[in-house]
Structure 1
Amino acid sequence: MNLRGGSKYYLLHLGVLLFIVLVVVFFGYGLLSPRSQEMGEPEAVTSMFVEELNVQEVVTLSRMAYSQPKVLTPSRKDVLVLTPWLAPIIWEGTFNIDILNEQFKLRNTRIGLTVFAIKKYVLFLKLFLETAEQHFMVGHKVIYYVFTDRPADVPQVPLAAGRRLVVLTVRNYTRWQDVSMHRMEMISLFSERRFLHEVDYLVCADVDMKFSDHVGVEILSALFGTLHPGFYGSSREAFTYERRPKSQAYIPRDEGDFYYMGAFFGGSVVEVHHLTKACHEAMVEDQANGIEAVWHDESHLNKYLLYHKPTKVLSPEYMWDQQLLGWPSIMKKLRYVAVPKNHQEIRNK
């Protein structure tokens, strides 16, 4: 009788002890995040958290005075400012650049601008860089990534503090279409190998253009595309999408949101890598099937952005040809504009 009773107490105590051990092990393990487990020592985790807190403590917000936004007063009544998937469409009058500059500076944002100056297109580089210094991401850290087959011809342009130029030597191609399409391959490769370690956002632009007004952090988002100046008021049936089902860029006539310009797009480095890699792989598959999309890399860009919706859309203010289209009143600013040129002369040399 006494022996059985003692056995019961022994088993009860053993059970309680095991329960306590399991609780300690479970919660002790749970307190270590996957990141801290990789680091190995809990002391390293504590040090990391303290360091992050210290960084937050030194950040100070300056007082800003600006007009209060009015819920019942839209910023623009003459244009669409929000897509059906809730991405903002950026027009003059829809943002306060002072607020945005403050927020992006708090994050110490670094921006990369890629541009291809192949063959005689290197002639446009000086004006491109000079006007970028005047209007592009002024006051922020910028790296100009110039892809060229003529590194010796890259001009020396004075750069503001916190901005630098990197020349990346690449081969040229006989056809301008191949130069255009291989942009996606090069941006994809360098995004993975280099850009991910150097910048937070990538803006991918054509070189035969100039900045004529402010282009700043209002454009930055995970993924952005720019409305084509020739189609921003057109129906989807009129868009010059690739309409042949054999192509990887094919879009049926009853699909499509906007027609995006291949000359100005971007986003976070990760998202730009996804986009350019997907477009390059689609073009390789098209080539294997003996087809080339009607507007080359731009056709594939439009297919990608149809099914991977951009988180911001830039209005035609950010891509305009004044020589062809004039200056309609709906455009309050012309920010990034085409430079007059003889396409045939430039493309074939």
Structure 2
Amino acid sequence: MLAGNAAVRRPDRLGAKLAGARWALASQLGTALPTSMHLWDEVELRLSDWFNPRKRPDVVTTTDWLAPVIWEGTFNRRVLEEYYRGQDLTIGLAVLATGRIADQYLELFIQSANKHFMTGYRVIFYIMVDAMCRLPNLEPGPLQTFQVFTIREDSREDFHLMHMKNLASHILGHIQDEVDFLFSMTANRVFQNDFGVETLGTSVAQLHAWWYFKDIKDFPYERRFRSAACILLGEGDFYYDGSVVGGTPLEILDFIQEYLEGMIHDKENGLNSTYERYLNKYFFTHKPTKLLSPEYSWDTALQLPAQIWLVKAAQCSHMCLHT
């Protein structure tokens, strides 16, 4: 199947590789694995039924590996809605908000997501905070539920490492049985327009607003050969934003497994790369099945170019989260 097909792919497709990854990750996190997995039929929607790359000749709309790049104007929402309404989907949105990030951003993140994220579909918000007192008043909309978890901050771990380890534990513990698709996002964003089912896919990567319009030779990939995150000079394709990652729960678990393994490898070799560079290495070697244009995570520090027709979600500078 072409990578661009909008398919509802269930956990049984992952095979031995992910099964091994799940066991390894469960062992590392000290989390018991479920004794069974759902077996679902695969239902497919042809890419050409809903996606028309010719509508946006001003931007890259299809990758070399035939994955769609979703821009406003390229997709037919009516066709997508008709298809996904029959799939009985549940979509998860996971966010970690600690300290000043929770104080400054979490309430507006939740309020705007209530209004614009996957409206009309069942959504479970997985909210991870370091203290319940930081939690704003939660008023779920129709079809929305909240699950709130407290985590213990570890001064030895950076924000993203803490988030991914906690998210992996919850995916193994219950999320994989609760949702069909999952997004992990940072809280420093405000949804401004519909963030809808056009974004769903097996493995979803977000193009980085800062770097999309730059030359590939200037991308801030990890270039140290000994690092697990290394992408050699002359290699690479896109630069991805670490603040958004999506896909099926076990695809995200697969990424977390490789991220943690890369961190351990580098630490043992006296290296220390960044979460976003590990994510870019992962998507370089495991091509995403769908890419989201910078419209889905536009940085408010940048002026809007003509190519950005409609901002779906706006975020403050990545410097806020020390990526």
TM-score (structure 2 length as normaliser): 0.80
CA deviation map 1:192-240 (0-9, x unaligned): 2211111011101010111111101101000010111111122221110
Secondary structure in 2 aligned to 1:261? strand
**Among residues 88, 109, 130, which one is paired with 1:128 in the alignment?**
109
Match of residue 140 from structure 2: 159
Aligned match of 1:335 in 308, 312, 323?
Answer: 312
Question: For the structure 1 residues 225 and 157, does the alpha-carbon distance in structure 2 shift closer, same or farther, using more than 3 Å as the test?
Answer: same
Greater relative contact order, per chain length (Cα 8 Å cut-off, separation 6+): 2
1:178 aligns with 2:147: no
Identify if the C-alpha distance between structure 1 residues 127 and 258 changes in structure 2 by more than 3 Å, giving closer, same or farther: same
Name 1:10's counterpart in structure 2: none
Which letter maps to 1:338?
Answer: Q
Gaps of 5+ in 2: 1-39, 41-48
Alpha-carbon offset, residue 140 of structure 1? 0.6
RMSD: 2.2
Match of 1:307 in 2: 285
Q: Give, in angstroms, the shift of residue 245 of structure 1.
A: 1.4
Q: Which runs of 4+ in 1 moved over 3 A?
A: 68-71, 339-343
Q: How many residues align?
A: 274
Q: Which has the higher strand share?
A: 2
Summarize the Cα distance change of 1:70–1:160 in structure 2 as closer, same or farther, 3 Å threshold.
closer
2:69/2:292 contact within 8 Å kept:
yes
In the alignment, which of 179, 184, 197 is matched to residue 177 of structure 2? Answer: 197
- Cross-structure match for 1:49: none
Deviation at 1:69?
Answer: 8.2
- Give 1:29's aligned residue: none
Q: Distance in 2 between matches of 1:226 and 1:340?
A: 15
Which of 320, 334, 342 is residue 298 of structure 2 equivalent to? Answer: 320
Q: Secondary structure at the match of 1:325?
A: coil
The yes-or-no answer on 1:223 pairing with 2:195 is no
Secondary structure, in 3 states, of the residue corresponding to 2:166?
helix
Matched, 1:286 2:279: no
Report the Cα distance in structure 2 between the residues aligned to 1:78 and 1:278, rounded to whole angstroms.
35
Cα separation, 1, equivalents of 2:152 and 2:261:
19
Is the helix fraction higher in 1 or 2? 1
Question: CA contact under 8 A between 1:184 and 1:277: conserved in structure 2?
Answer: no
TM-score relative to the length of structure 1: 0.74
Gaps (5+ residues) in structure 1? Answer: 1-51, 53-67
